[in-house]
Structure 1
């Protein structure tokens, strides 16, 4: 790595203000601080200095998503060869490699478009490159159906970065989760490419599925009153669905990494799951259709609930900031996610809408939590006086 550090140090004078390549200063600084510890520290004010900076934090989040990404690649191949009737004769590496070739272009498009826009905005403003897209760039592909056209991924990514982040001032200023903004944009702008039975399984132009093939997700079947799925397959992830959302086991591995490293907020994770379980129990009690009769705990295995609870709801920028607010915020996400998916047939997956809605109300939740603390302290002050 020393030759890389020497390269950046030698080229640094060329990108300084007034130099020939000054317009590349933000890009140069962004790559250097991603690979190496920054050479500068805060000069004024009170600051906490730690060995881990924002780029290292974001890198750990990306690492936590890797299990879901790798399994998603395998599952893309698994669903493909299952659909064309060749699963039994296809080996593990063939399944994974097929999915790898399908998923990799989606990841590349997401990062190229998103980072390109980030670099452009950073250079225009004369700021450092925001680190947030290191995470958003990998989350966006994972919440997409595998058959989403690459140009749609690019358009959705551009929309998420520009209108979900940059118009608010960049990383740390956005009020909604950018990855969910990308998915919501496609969901409402191109619903045919984001729903239905054909978008979850990659068949290709020349592959013809066997008779009776359906690529519907178990949750879509359940919403239609056809509750017939294997619980073990749903837990391990061998079901149709968005690229990175199917395997609860892989998502749990990511949650373990986030909690152990102290990056992810376990309070939001637990409260979101608790909210989902409570609403599932209530729907079981007052069931009037087959979907409401689905055992409450099985809701956690379907759709994007687990992925949303671990990687989306815990976004430190758009989530609640107060400790009590985090419990309330997560619990309401779980409640709304199950309520929307079961009660409203137009939205069989409610996690996206639930998180975006609670992103909007997170500041209000924090406001009332803070006001409650102030009132209690004022009462104690009056009593002691």
Structure 2
């Protein structure tokens, strides 16, 4: 880490005012403070003067989201194999879900952080770290079948109109992730409701079986006529159709414990 610190110190003048790459000053600052805790603290006001900054807190929240995200990836594969009637191992189901979810995470971060980088550079401010959490939450609260271009449009809308216009992290009155979900629900309702949007019907790199259509009863519909106690347990473990990161009570509870004990 010392070698990396020395390297960053060496190239830092290039990104400062008057440097060769001053146009990327905010990007460099965001990358540097993500890797290393800044050596500055607040001087006035009622603040706690310690080494913990917003990036460390946001990173901890991202860690707390990982159990629900990993289970969501497995559940995506599980639901696909279950709906198509194909047998698959645990690894096959997880890899299928991972490949289905990963592009959504990439799109969310590229669009959201890209806008924040541009705004920070335009305003000559530090890059705000709030989207570290929002970028993870957004893919977790949408259906697996949500098209990437829709996710990109909704993410851009939420970052600009629910966050940046209010001044950025800490000053926005709306949650960007929830605004993303609301935008998708009202702008593209057919992609956010119905039985088929919660299960992927595509084959990914040869994994899974492609089907022309899927149909299944909703959890509430099954609950109405269910007689098997195992159904209630599935709703706790999360092995039911739903948004990528919302189905497992256990995985979400693990994240809550991580936050409470940190």
- Settle same-fold status: TM greater than 0.5: yes
Residue 106 of structure 2 is aligned to residue 99 of structure 1: no
Alignment match, 1:356: none
Contact 1:79 1:239 (8 Å CA) reproduced = yes
**1:218-367 alignment runs, 5 A limit:** 218-219=219-220, 221=221, 226-228=224-226, 230-261=231-262
Query: How many residues align structurally?
Result: 254
**CA apart distance, 1:227:** 4.8
Residue 149 of structure 2 is aligned to residue 151 of structure 1: yes
Alignment match, 2:206: none
Structure 1 residues without counterparts, runs of 5 or longer: 262-385
Change in Cα spacing, 1:217 to 1:245, as seen in structure 2 (3 Å) is farther
**CA apart distance, 1:23:** 1.1
**CA apart distance, 1:8:** 1.5
Change in Cα spacing, 1:109 to 1:254, as seen in structure 2 (3 Å) is same
Contact 2:41 2:50 (8 Å CA) reproduced = no
Q: Distance in 2 between matches of 1:236 and 1:202?
A: 20
Alignment match, 2:137: 139
Q: Distance in 1 between matches of 2:101 and 2:256?
A: 22
Which of 106, 109, 130 is residue 107 of structure 2 equivalent to? Answer: 109
**CA apart distance, 1:214:** 2.5
Which of 206, 210, 229 is residue 207 of structure 1 equivalent to? Answer: 210
Contact 1:118 1:130 (8 Å CA) reproduced = yes
Contact 1:145 1:199 (8 Å CA) reproduced = yes
Q: Distance in 2 between matches of 1:216 and 1:135?
A: 33
Q: Distance in 1 between matches of 2:46 and 2:246?
A: 41
**CA apart distance, 1:226:** 4.0
Per-residue Cα deviation, 1:294-342 (whole angstroms, up to 9, x for no partner)? xxxxxxxxxxxxxxxxxxxxxxxxxxxxxxxxxxxxxxxxxxxxxxxxx
**1:5-84 alignment runs, 5 A limit:** 5-84=5-84
Change in Cα spacing, 1:159 to 1:83, as seen in structure 2 (3 Å) is same
Per-residue Cα deviation, 1:5-58 (whole angstroms, up to 9, x for no partner)? 222211110111122211111111111111101022234445311232110000
Contact 1:83 1:209 (8 Å CA) reproduced = no
Contact 2:39 2:51 (8 Å CA) reproduced = no
Structure 2 residues without counterparts, runs of 5 or longer: 204-208
Residue 184 of structure 2 is aligned to residue 186 of structure 1: yes
Q: Distance in 1 between matches of 2:48 and 2:235?
A: 43
Change in Cα spacing, 1:176 to 1:259, as seen in structure 2 (3 Å) is same
Q: Normalising to structure 1: TM-score of the pair?
A: 0.63
Per-residue Cα deviation, 1:199-237 (whole angstroms, up to 9, x for no partner)? 100111661279xx5345414x37xx9453810000000
Change in Cα spacing, 1:108 to 1:216, as seen in structure 2 (3 Å) is farther
- The SS at the match of 2:143 is coil
Q: Distance in 1 between matches of 2:216 and 2:63?
A: 30
Contact 2:64 2:254 (8 Å CA) reproduced = yes
Per-residue Cα deviation, 1:249-269 (whole angstroms, up to 9, x for no partner)? 0000011111112xxxxxxxx
RMSD: 1.8
Change in Cα spacing, 1:10 to 1:235, as seen in structure 2 (3 Å) is same
Q: Normalising to structure 2: TM-score of the pair?
A: 0.92
Change in Cα spacing, 1:216 to 1:164, as seen in structure 2 (3 Å) is farther
Runs of 4+ in 1 over 6 A off after TM superposition: none
Change in Cα spacing, 1:53 to 1:79, as seen in structure 2 (3 Å) is same
Q: Distance in 2 between matches of 1:157 and 1:216?
A: 30
- The SS at the match of 1:199 is helix
Task: Report which structure shows greater RCO (CA 8 Å, sep ≥6).
Answer: 2
